[in-house]
Amino acid sequence: MEKRYDLIVFDWDGTVMDSTAVIAGSIQAACRDLGLPVPEDQAARHVIGLGLVQALRHAVPDAPEAMYEPLVERYRHHFLAQDQAIPLFSGARETIAELHEAGYLLAVATGKSRAGLDRVLDASGMRPYFHGLRTADMTFSKPHPAMLLELMDELAVSAERTLMVGDTTHDLQLAQNAGVDVIAVGHGAHPPEQLLELKPLALLDDFAQLRAWFKANA
C-alpha cells in the first residue's frame, strides 16, 4: 500500500510516556507546598500538554502573580524526583521503532521544556527515532499551530502528508489549526468524550490499536 503520510508527529506526555498521574500529582503537590488552592484531578490533568507556566496559570488561576515562579520551582522539584521512573506506554517503543524502520519521518511536539524532553529521550533511548523536536520553550505553546508548521517546514513535508498523534484536546486543536490530520489516544490526560467532540480521524485505546491503524491506514 502506498504511504498516506510522510511525517508522523507524536505528543509525549500522556501519549508516548505514561506520565499523566505524575504531572497532575506534581501540580497538586506544588500548590500544597505554597498554600495555594489545590486543583482537582480533572483540572490538573486538563492543562497537561500546555507549556508549564501556561499550564499552571490555567490550573491555579487565582494565584498571585508573584507565586507562579516559586510554583514552577516546586512543580519541578516534585516532578524531577519521579521522572526517571516513568515508563513508556506498552507498545510505544516497538511501534515507533517500526515506523522509523518503515521510512517515516518522526517528530515530537510537546509542552515539555527542551531540557526536559532531551532528558527523557536520552533516558529512554528513544532519541534516535526522531527527526525533529518542538517544545513549549522553543516556539508557541499548543494549541497555536507553530510547532507543526515549523516541523513541516524543517522536514519539507506538506500538511496533507503529516499526521499528529495526541492524547489531549490541546493536541487535536494544534493539528486542526495547522491543517493536519490527527489521531487521538484515550489512555492519557483528557477523557475520550472530550476528544471525540473534536472529531479526530480515530480514537484508539492503546498502542496495539494504534499500530494496527497505522498498518491499515498510514
The catalytic residues are 11, 13
Phi, psi (rounded to 5 degrees) for 194: -70, -40
CA proximity to 26, closest of 90, 72, 89: 72
| C-alpha to C-alpha distance for 161 and 89, rounded to whole angstroms | 26
Q: Where are the alpha helices (DSSP H) in 125-179?
A: 146-155, 169-178
DSSP 48: B
List of residues 6+ apart from 171 with CB closer than 8 A: 11, 15, 49, 109, 142, 164, 165, 182, 184
| C-alpha to C-alpha distance for 159 and 149, rounded to whole angstroms | 8
| C-alpha to C-alpha distance for 48 and 112, rounded to whole angstroms | 9
| C-alpha to C-alpha distance for 207 and 118, rounded to whole angstroms | 23
Q: Give per-residue burial for 109-144: e unless 16+ CB within 10 Å, then b.
A: bbbbbeebbeebbeebebeebbbbbbbbbebebbbb
